[in-house]
Amino acid sequence: MPIDWSPFVDLVRKHQRFLITTHVRPDPDGLGSQLALADVLEGMGRKVQTVIASAWPPRYTFLDPERRIERFAPPGDAHKDVEVIVVLDTGTWNQLGDFGDWMKTSAAKKVVIDHHVTQDGLGGLLLADTSAEATGRLVYDAARALGQQLSRKAASCLFAAVATDTGWFRHKNTTPATFALAEKLTQAGADPTYLYDAIYEQNTAPRVNLLGLVLQRMQVVENGKVAYSEVCKDDYARTGAIPQDTEDAVGYTRSIAGVEVGLLFLEQPAGGIKVSFRSKGVDVAAIAAQFGGGGHKLASGATLQTTLAEAKQRVLDAVRTGLTKGK
């Protein structure tokens, strides 16, 4: 359903100091949307700060080579004077890390711009469209509502956002409107060839070695309908990889012929098991919600505070039930 951007336009007109953030373990949709919106607001003379509440993913340094997006540092005194907080590409507290704790105490006005089904109600203005293929689409629409033209930098960031959240225009969320948007962003200066190479053709040897472990551990169960693998916390030291190097690995579980649900279990260095869900039709957002997670119908995540063995048992039981309900 189309968003009425007039409340956001009104907020921008009335305020000068903005703080923009996105979810932990940020991807190009979150980061690209941050950078593009910051560029748009600064073009209107606004003062903008950008933060994330987790480590910077080196894979995406090309999006922000000057590293204007800073890591949020509690107690957040550097941001006490902001008037508006904009949260992009998530609407859940558990995706905001320690930034969420600070935001709860801030007197700034809050805005959430998101395309995910799962929403906790972060307070303030919610601008959500679950039919949008990416939050990058929504930032593009916000820029238009503000009457702003995109710079080459902003167009590149939004192209990266939309292209990656659609699996480079392969996933079911890709529509004719997606290609029309890609054309507009390209006309504004985005370079698809450069962006694809920067995102997908610059793997490190440790990242590839970690992927090798994921593939070696792949299990296919439920008569070929479910595939899963795992990453143990000591795998990072073993391969030289970092947690961000697991991004995209879950896609291999879903790529097996006949598999309806793919899962990747990630043992977290700080404790707990993060689970990534991918599906070809089963509503995995509903399954992830059983464990306090969520996301999209075909791509979701959750974190369980338990052991790897118990997490696998509980999640596989829930997926088995989900497969039965889907019949």
pLDDT digits (tens, 9 = 90+) for 200-258: 999 999 999 999 999 999 999 999 999 999 999 999 999 999 999 999 999 999 999 99
Nearest to 91 by CA among 287, 304, 272, 294: 294
pLDDT in tens, 252-293: 999 999 999 999 999 998 899 999 999 999 999 999 999 999
Does the structure show a pLDDT above 70 at 1? no
User: Can you read off the two tokens belonging to residue 306?
Assistant: 């338990």
Q: Is the pTM of this model over 0.75?
A: yes
Taking residues 296-313, what's their average pLDDT?
A: 94
- Yes or no: say if 200 and 173 are a contact pair by the CB < 8 Å rule: no
Please give the pLDDT value at position 326: 55
Taking residues 45-62, what's their average pLDDT?
A: 96
The model's confidence at residue 93, banded by pLDDT at 50, 70 and 90, is: very high
Is 3 buried (19+), middle (13-18) or exposed (0-12) by CB count in 10 A? Answer: middle
How far, CA to CA in Å, does 20 sit from each of 2, 79, 112, 295, 303? 22, 11, 10, 20, 25
With residues binned 3-state (H G I as helix, E B as strand, rest as coil), the percentages for the chain, rounded to 5, are 45, 20, 40
C-alpha gyration radius of the chain: 19
pLDDT over 70, % of the chain: 99
Indicate the CATH number of 205-325 among 3.90.1720.10, 3.90.1150.10, 3.10.310.30, 1.10.10.10.
3.10.310.30
Block residue for tokens 């507009």: 184
Handedness of CA 12, 14, 15, 21 (dihedral sign): negative
- Yes or no: say if 80 and 107 are a contact pair by the CB < 8 Å rule: no
What residue ranges do the domains of the chain occupy?
6-200, 205-325
Nearest to 300 by CA among 313, 314, 319, 317: 319
Q: What is the CATH number of domain 6-200?
A: 3.90.1640.10
| Mean pLDDT rounded to a whole number for the chain | 95
Taking residues 163-187, what's their average pLDDT?
A: 96
- Yes or no: say if 316 and 221 are a contact pair by the CB < 8 Å rule: yes
Please give the pLDDT value at position 68: 93
Taking residues 152-159, what's their average pLDDT?
A: 98
6-200 and 205-325 share one fold: no
Higher pLDDT, 131 or 295: 131
